[in-house]
Chain A
Amino acid sequence: MKLLYAPINTRVKFFSVENAPALTAKLNQYGLYRGDSLSVVRMAPLGGPLLVQVNGREIALGREIAEKIIVEIE
């Protein structure tokens, strides 16, 4: 499923990125890699970004990005 629709506070595994190799590289640049275990902490209202916890850090991701990240529940 897409990260955007993952349930809150549930551990999911970063599986792949849909159709956007540049995005994968960009995510790597921020320390986010395939196989990482994430969990969505909260979502900003008004269509704003998601706050995701990964490897002990918290990263905000825009919705358009979360829509391209495919995850599976652990």
Chain B
Amino acid sequence: MEDADIVALYWQRDQGAITASDEKYGTLCHSLSFNILQTHEDAEECVNDTWHRAWDTMPPQKPNSLRAYFCRIVRNLSIDRWRSRYSQKRGEGMGSLVLELEECVPAVPSAEEQWETEEISAAVERWLRQQKAEDRRLFVSRYFYGAAVRDLAAGLGGSPNGAAQRLRRLRQSLRRALEQEGVTL
């Protein structure tokens, strides 16, 4: 089914939207979430929550790229869950305090924060455009989609160590690029 048709189903409040989303993007979303969380149960739950979130947000949203839309949602949910788990693991330490205080952080980021995030993102985007297509794919696959190094290596036809080395080089290169652009984190 075409993405536009799936979006239309969401707008029509047709439950088939979720089935179609899961059929088309379930594996990708699960894989992305699993790469972050490393447990299938948690990943499955994040994917479920992704469809839930999509149901809640379409309408009014009408994403151009449904794949990117779902991937962003599932990635955010997975990172949140990872943080929560990490914080629980840390017990009553700093992690818990941070988590508690996160309740006080407005759900909508401040205009300044939003602007900064977009600036960082734009700088990363510019840097990505300067990289070779293969390196670009390697970096985004790893740091957006969370793919495992050994899987990426297999996809590229090289060794895991080779892929890890390339990633290290790319990280260093990004760091330099961000420094040169005066982007502070």
Asked whether A and B interact, the reply is no
